Structure 1
Amino acid sequence: MNSTASNDGLFPRGPLFLENLVTPYCEKLGLYKLPRHIHVVILSALFYQFINLLSPWISNKLSRHYKHLSRRTKLNWDSHVVSSVQSVLLISLGYLILREVNNFNDKLFGYSVYAGDIYALADGYFLWDLYITVRYAKITGLGFVVHAVAALFVVTFSYSPYLMYYGPTYLSWELSTPFLNIHYFLDKTNKTGSKFQILNGILLILTFFFVRIVWGWYSAYSTSMEIIRRVTEIPRGLSLFYLAANMSLNCLNLFWVFKMMDAIRRRAHGEKLSPAQTANSEVAKKNL
């Protein structure tokens, strides 16, 4: 741990019996710092599941369209609601985590309790996300399962500790998520092709492209070069898995940005997409 980084967490420490319970398993996986934050991960996942269960009631109150949606579409809608809460939360904490990791003396192995707590919020979300995408794999598709696995891996193995310094790069991807969710909700409330949706779609493409493609690929290159430069200090398996997960996430972003552009073009022309086209064209039902 870095002497210049915070020793205080964002949240109160969890029960020691829980830390002691998971420590042997975490140590076998090399996740030496995870036990300190496991309560935040679990509570975060439960919180997002609570939002998911609460969404039908809230959505029925706020939108007259919700009750007329198919079961499949309601599942996607509810996931977008969870994604909206998650993205706003992480964006709000973005400055704090950026300030924290800038105090790290080591870009590869830097760690602080404060940063660990913030990443635990994201870890809990991706744990919930994996549960949802696997449970409804026939609806979400294989691409989202791969994304959930890769995202969960990248965040979880930062508790080795490993590459926490680069975490803000991936959390910054959330900047595009509110536009994505707004676009989705407009589409499902008969606002397809409206001026507001077209404007939102342009903002979505711009933020997605610059944050996830330009900044994302540059950061992936920077991170990979740091790993390669110090490869002898890192377990080989961890390096290979991280590089593979990192490449998977960035390739999915590249694939989805073209799908987004095609979907927005169709909607701008007032085209009605079939269910299959919609499933392929929507970038995500949640945070990518």
Structure 2
Amino acid sequence: MSSSDEGLFPRGPLYLENLVTPFCEKLGLYKLPRHFHVILLSALFYQAINLLSPWISNKLSRHYKHLSKRTKLNWDSHVVSSVQSVFLISLGYLILKEVNNFGDKLFGYSVYAGDIYALADGYFLWDLYVTLRYVHITGIGFVVHAVAALFVVTFSYSPYLMYYGPTYLSWELSTPFLNIHYFLDKTNRTGSTLQLVNGILLVLTFICVRIIWGWYSAYSTAMEIISRVTEIPRGLSLFYLAANMSLNCLNLFWVFKMMDAIRRRAQGEKVSPVQTANSEFAKKNI
């Protein structure tokens, strides 16, 4: 286990910590000031990737310049999503090893774990900004998802339920397959063997990490909260349980969309194996 004050990144300016501390303490986020600089820089990093995506995509794909403006916005968000999923998947083992050393599943905390979660928090902050700005494209479902995800990660800095963080980060294992499917659609490879194989991997991974593992972990989290409910502010517990349930229900909704698309294709309809799911889950139809 890392030492108590050893983080993944160097500590930020103390004046910045002091600036945000009063506000964070009012919300009960006592550990957040130590990681605020990582959250902020993470959000700015993902925005930079979003701004660089048009230039990079034009270099890597001849199809990008022919896309509509709205579809380019969506493509760029998938580029950002791809980058962040690779980061979080790469750090998955480290965070799992770290939280397994926590003596308390409810209130366990370390600076190292806090820095890793700050990377995710920065992404969800950026994601909320994008979904609100383009809500007419993304739909209200993605705003709800962004708010719930941001809430769950941010309020872990109380500290609260950091032990269960790897469960939600493991959901990113399905994201690369989702993004590959999207890029294949947009580069005229819909229905190709590559997309079929990728689609199967997407559905299998999604079911394993977001449905089977996700719902089991949601149950474990809920039981831990309920068993120690007197130790936790009631409002925080209710919000966590509601956010947890909303995220898992959205996953269940999306996997049913995927399975419906597979059924329709098996019946001879011209639909990509996860096209319907992409429409809801990946903001495809723009």
What TM-score range do you get, normalising by the shorter chain? over 0.9
Whether the 8 Å contact between 1:263 and 1:282 is mirrored in structure 2 is no
Pairwise CA distance, 1:4: 7.6
Q: TM-score normalized by structure 2?
A: 0.94
Show CA shifts across 1:228-275 (max 9, x none): 0000000000000000000000000000112223345667857269xx
| Identity of matched residues, % | 87
CA separation in 1, counterparts of 2:80 and 2:253? 23
Task: Confirm or deny that 1:203 pairs with 2:204.
Answer: no
Larger relative contact order, structure 1 or 2 (CA cutoff 8 Å, min sep 6): 1
Give, as a single letter, the amino acid of the residue that structure 2 aligns with 1:184: Y
Equivalent residue for 2:103? 105
Q: How does 1:211-230 map to 2 (within 5 A)?
A: 211-230=209-228
Whether the 8 Å contact between 1:80 and 1:285 is mirrored in structure 2 is no
Give, as a single letter, the amino acid of the residue that structure 1 aligns with 2:18: N
Partner SS for 2:91: helix
Whether the 8 Å contact between 1:45 and 1:125 is mirrored in structure 2 is yes
Show CA shifts across 1:94-124 (max 9, x none): 0000000011000000000000000000000
Give, as a single letter, the amino acid of the residue that structure 1 aligns with 2:110: S
Whether the 8 Å contact between 1:176 and 1:204 is mirrored in structure 2 is yes
Whether the 8 Å contact between 2:40 and 2:122 is mirrored in structure 1 is yes
Task: Confirm or deny that 1:138 pairs with 2:136.
Answer: yes
Q: How does 1:20-169 map to 2 (within 5 A)?
A: 20-169=18-167
Give, as a single letter, the amino acid of the residue that structure 2 aligns with 1:79: S
CA separation in 1, counterparts of 2:176 and 2:100? 26
Picking from 170, 173, 183, the partner of 1:172 is 170
Whether the 8 Å contact between 1:192 and 1:270 is mirrored in structure 2 is no
Whether the 8 Å contact between 1:127 and 1:152 is mirrored in structure 2 is yes
Runs of 5+ unmatched residues, structure 2: none
Runs of 5+ unmatched residues, structure 1: none
Equivalent residue for 1:183? 181
Partner SS for 1:52: helix
Whether the 8 Å contact between 2:210 and 2:248 is mirrored in structure 1 is yes
CA separation in 1, counterparts of 2:75 and 2:261? 17
Equivalent residue for 2:270? 271
